[in-house]
Amino acid sequence: IGAVPPVMLKSAANPEGLPIDVFDGIREGVAGDRSQFYKDLAIPFYGANRDGAKVSAGLLEQFWLWSMQSGQKNAYECVKAFSETDFTEDLKRIDVPTLFMHGEDDQIVPVHDSAKKAARLVNNAREIYYPGAPHGLTATLQDRVNADLLAFLRA
């Protein structure tokens, strides 16, 4: 759900990826005033900056609280892991039913650089894309995501 595979970082092998300075900016935010960084990150994470978005202050505060509970070093090191790890070969080896779910307006992990590429690497993958949905779609579309997950599991 809104996952990063196959690889986020722009490279010769992945020219559509995001440049390293995007991830360096995340590292700077986590290493610097991380409290404000997480408050700011919550807005695009849930799409609260989009016209018509209905994202409560409570949800944004919950994101901040959970983020502040993570270890600063762990969060900093995580950036390298989620941006530079290439899962391409791992995805090719998946041989069980696999579902990719992703918001089409994900401002954190662009859908075309992640789920759509990953699904092409997994045999018989099922894909569900949510028009206008943000990265935090498990909160903003909770009932729909849960229903889709249950339908996939029952199938």
CA nearest 77: which of 136, 27, 114, 116?
Answer: 27
CA nearest 46: which of 29, 67, 31, 28?
Answer: 67
What's the pLDDT at 154? 97
Q: What is the pTM of this model?
A: 0.93
CA–CA gap between residue 138 and residue 6 (Å, rounded): 21
pLDDT in tens, 98-151: 999 999 999 999 999 899 999 999 999 999 999 999 999 999 999 999 999 999
What domains are defined for the chain? 20-154 (3.40.50.1820)
pLDDT in tens, 15-40: 999 999 999 999 999 999 999 999 99
What's the pLDDT at 61? 98
What's the pLDDT at 127? 98
CA–CA gap between residue 115 and residue 87 (Å, rounded): 12
pLDDT in tens, 57-80: 999 999 999 999 999 999 999 999
